[in-house]
Amino acid sequence: MRLTVVGAGYVGLVSACCLAEMGNQVCLLEHNPARLQALQQGRVPIYEPGLEALLQQVLNRQLQVTGNVSLALNEPELILVAVGTPSQADGNVDLSQLWQLAEAVQEHLRHPTVLVLKSTVAVGTGDALQAWFEQRAIPVQVVNNPEFLKEGAALEDFRRPQRILIGAEDAAAAAIVERLYVPFTRNQARVLHMRRREAEFSKYAANAFLASRISFMNELAELAEHVQVDIEAVRQGIGSDQRIGRHFIYAGCGYGGSCFPKDLRALSHLGRSQGLPLPLLSAIEQRNERQKQRLIDKLEALLGSHWYGKRVALWGLAFKPDTDDIREAPALVLLRALLARGATVQAHDPAAMPAVAERFPEAVASGQLQLCNEPYAALENAHALCLLTEWKLFREPDWLRVMQLLAEPRVLDGRNQYDPGQLATMGFVYLGIGRGGLASERRNRAAA
């Protein structure tokens, strides 16, 4: 098929490359000049495993990357929309990028087309957009087709989707979108047809449900600390029940990223706009905020409350492993607190350091934030090590070397990656998340 993808972010770039890989003729429209230039040279401006190799394989063959709006919107059979839909201050979703695109479609489109919303949009957006095009007699059918890929595993998720949701009011438009996915649904994926607003709602429901599991476990983790229970044992105890499942029940330092926080806010906003109290959704968000703050409490338990002049090592800054994305990353909450309270921070992250340097230029310039080019350099003379993102690189450290490098043998394990018994035996003071069942942790909490 001949299609245009608008927006070369995580979703648009991955979609464009994977659709091009299947033989479609794809035009990828991006208006950010730096991003555009990088892509045209075959460089991926974000960190996503495998993506750069795929881009180079399809670029200037099945995939054209352009900033030329008129070329991109002239006569594609399909337009896939993957522009950003960030939060507004009131929690509602900001659809300004989408409406700007609608204006561009009005100006440049010369043939009937199907406009497929892959961006996460407020419930009712597709209907509003459809009405807008109809009022102007522009031959566009709007379809909602939410994207469920995860950063860090985006290619795998796109190539092997578990389900494809097609939300449409027009059967012919739905059939065209379904045809696009035929190469991806041969094995297992189910294609589910529904109304446009049901697809929009389903996207929010999926993210809110996953976030609720994480907040649920984080809440129980705090309780576990008070009743001498290790939440890791509980995770295994419940995850083996197939009705519950093993995914998204890892206690940690709270969910971050560009989607869960903003989508929860948008769903709560929808409730408020309907005059409906939705206390369960509010609780998910409140717990998540508390969970990020708990990192600060825990570090105080390890270091005392005066951090001025202390040196703290951070392993991991991205909101999750295998990405350079730091949007709403839990690590930033602790990092800001450390900087505000006069500590020196030595950090390492395999991919997110450029983004952090851009976000905290003054701290980097003053030397208060040192971004180290390998994990062990971050440990030198530090008074504590905090693991905040569970990159594979941090899973099996050389603990003897860690002990030698740290000024004080203290470990805050924000992702429950380490064996507290082993660390206690070696002489580390260890704090994890919800690891109340461990004699060492009880002792350390009492001592702290």
Ligand X SMILES: O=C(O)[C@H]1O[C@H](OP(=O)(O)OP(=O)(O)OC[C@H]2O[C@@H](n3ccc(=O)[nH]c3=O)[C@H](O)[C@@H]2O)[C@H](O)[C@@H](O)[C@@H]1O
* Contacting residue, 62, 97, 185, 370, with ligand NAI by CB under 6 A: 97
Query: Footprint of ligand X on residues 310-369 (CB under 6 A)?
Result: 319-320
Residues in contact with ligand NAI, shown as a per-residue x/- string from 4 to 43 under the rule CB under 6 A: --xxxxxxx----------------xxxx--x--------
Q: Rounded distance, CA 89 to CA 71, Å?
A: 35
Q: Rounded distance, CA 324 to CA 180, Å?
A: 30
Query: Footprint of ligand NAI on residues 232-271 (CB under 6 A)?
Result: 258-259
- Give which of 138, 119, 278 is closest to 199, Cα–Cα: 119
Nearest residue by C-beta to ligand X? 259
Query: Footprint of ligand NAI on residues 58-87 (CB under 6 A)?
Result: 82-85
For residue 164, report the phi and psi dihedrals to the nearest 5 degrees. Answer: -120, 125
How many residues at the interface with ligand X, by CB under 6 A?
20
- Residue 231 near residue 214, CB atoms below 8 Å: no
- The neighbouring-strand residues paired with 113 are 140
Minimum distance of ligand NAI from residue 52's CB (angstroms): 16
256 annotated to bind ligand:
yes
* Contacting residue, 51, 95, 102, 259, with ligand X by CB under 6 A: 259
Q: Rounded distance, CA 55 to CA 52, Å?
A: 5
Q: Rounded distance, CA 23 to CA 53, Å?
A: 16
For residue 312, report the phi and psi dihedrals to the nearest 5 degrees. Answer: -125, 135
Radius of gyration of the chain (CA): 24
Minimum distance of ligand NAI from residue 12's CB (angstroms): 6
Residue 64 or 145 having the CB closest to ligand X: 145
Minimum distance of ligand X from residue 288's CB (angstroms): 9
Query: Binding of ligand NAI at residue 225 (CB under 6 A)?
Result: no
Selection from ligand X, ligand NAI, none that 207 binds (CB < 5 to 8 A by kind) is: ligand X
Q: How far apart are the first and last CA of the chain?
A: 63
* Contacting residue, 133, 158, 204, 255, with ligand X by CB under 6 A: 255
Instruction: Write out the two tokens for 298.
Output: 């825990």
- Residue 97 near residue 60, CB atoms below 8 Å: no
Q: Which residues bind ligand NAI (CB under 6 A)?
A: 6-12, 29-32, 35, 82-85, 97, 100-101, 119-120, 147, 149, 151, 258-259
Binding region for NAD(+): 35, 85, 120, 151, 262, 327
